Amino acid sequence: MKQASHSPDLTRLSRHIPRTPSIGSTTVTDEDHVHLSFGFAAPELFPLATLEQAAGEAIRTHGREALQYSGAPGPDDIVKWIEQRAHHNGLDVDSAHVLVTYGATQGLSLAAQLLLEPEDEVWTEAPTFFSALQAFRLSGAVIRAFPLEADGLNVELLEQALQEARATERPLPKLLYTMPTYHNPGGVTLSVAKRHRLIELAREYHFYVLEDDAYGELNFTGQPWPTLYSLAPERVIYLNTFSKIIAPGLRLGWMIAHPELIQRLRILMLGGSTGVFTQEIVAALLQNIDMNEHLERLRTHYRQQRDVMAAAIDRHLGDAVRYVLPEGGFFLWISFREVIDTTELQQRAFTYGVSIVDGRSFYPQRDVGHQLRLCFSYCNSEQIEKGIARLARAYTDYVAEQEAVQLNTLEYHNRV
């Protein structure tokens, strides 16, 4: 006899859980489908041989300790490596400033838990990383967004909003979230002058800055960018990750902040340590890899893929779109010159065999409909060319269909 199915009582769920779909990925298994939506690292760049060696070393050398709750030497070695890399990048930190997390996204969640209460103001860029928006929504915060320019966040508009809020006694932000270097999805980088002004505003108006530096090591030009943390360690919580420079499946990232904040963040982790066995493997890997050489390999590859995508866009879409050529990272953000519905375009492009991410996903109110994000890191050159050609065909057919609808509507009104 078939048992009756039982549905969960959804009325008992927290009201803070948003009903939003998974973004940036599909379940398509067709080998010919092109995934320009995936914000993934290139799998051919994963240091598999070194990881295999590191995993064996972790088992042979520290296996029984590494598989316990507290782990073996690996977690301490990871913190030491983060300290050294921070010093290399101009950050003055020691182990008391560092917290290892399950990727940078856990850092986002922890920072939101630490700083935000319902109805607090959190200000972001527009567009911004959709997982950050999710973290802030879950906290019950009020999200206000400010536009990106070719050189990053429009700090002038931000300053005006701060002045107006103070003058009218409206709430000031408790937190500002930014990805200043090789922005996801915008691809732009905050200028040095704007970085300094943003920090001045944070100090004057007493808000924290959550700096997401997930792509900072993927620098295509060699021009260094000062982190916001290096400018104001008392005002900035810094996030980074191994996902973009080793492999995302490791789920290891880190936070750097004032030791008093780190102590409170540890409490939010409920006393647990982050994947201690994974840390043991990564620690062994870091001892056996020339990181500067590895990073240069990544940069060369991703720079080439960016150029392939930009050339394909210029060739297939031409004057229909505009974009800022990113100087690092994974993403190219395009804006159509005419007003179109990129949600519909995303659906049409999918049927043509290419996945993209509708720009609305990166806005708090999902109210901007003529932009989309493309990722050049995951697909090879042939796939990128094929995907952009398919996107262009979907766009051309979409525009022709819309023009036909408008013409038919005009003819109908003329007749009546």
Domain boundary assignment for the chain: 11-40+293-415, 48-287
Among 49-58, 255-264, 268-277, 311-320, which stretch is predicted with the lowest mean pLDDT? 268-277
Lowest mean pLDDT among 6-20, 71-85, 89-103, 169-183: 6-20
- Cβ atoms 394, 355 nearer than 8 A: no
pLDDT digits (tens, 9 = 90+) for 85-106: 999 999 999 999 999 999 999 9
Q: Is 59 exposed, middle or buried (0-12, 13-18, 19+ CB in 10 A)?
A: middle
pTM of this structure? 0.93
The strand pair at 121-126 and 173-178 is best described as parallel
> Tell me: the pLDDT tens digits for 68-90?
988 899 999 999 999 999 999 99
Contact 25, 356 (CB under 8 A): no
CATH 3.90.1150.10 holds for 11-40+293-415: yes
Using alpha carbons only, what angle is made at residue 27 by residues 359 and 317, rounded to the nearest 5 degrees? 40
Looking at CATH, the fold of the domain delimited by 48-287 is given as Aspartate Aminotransferase; domain 2 (3.40.640)
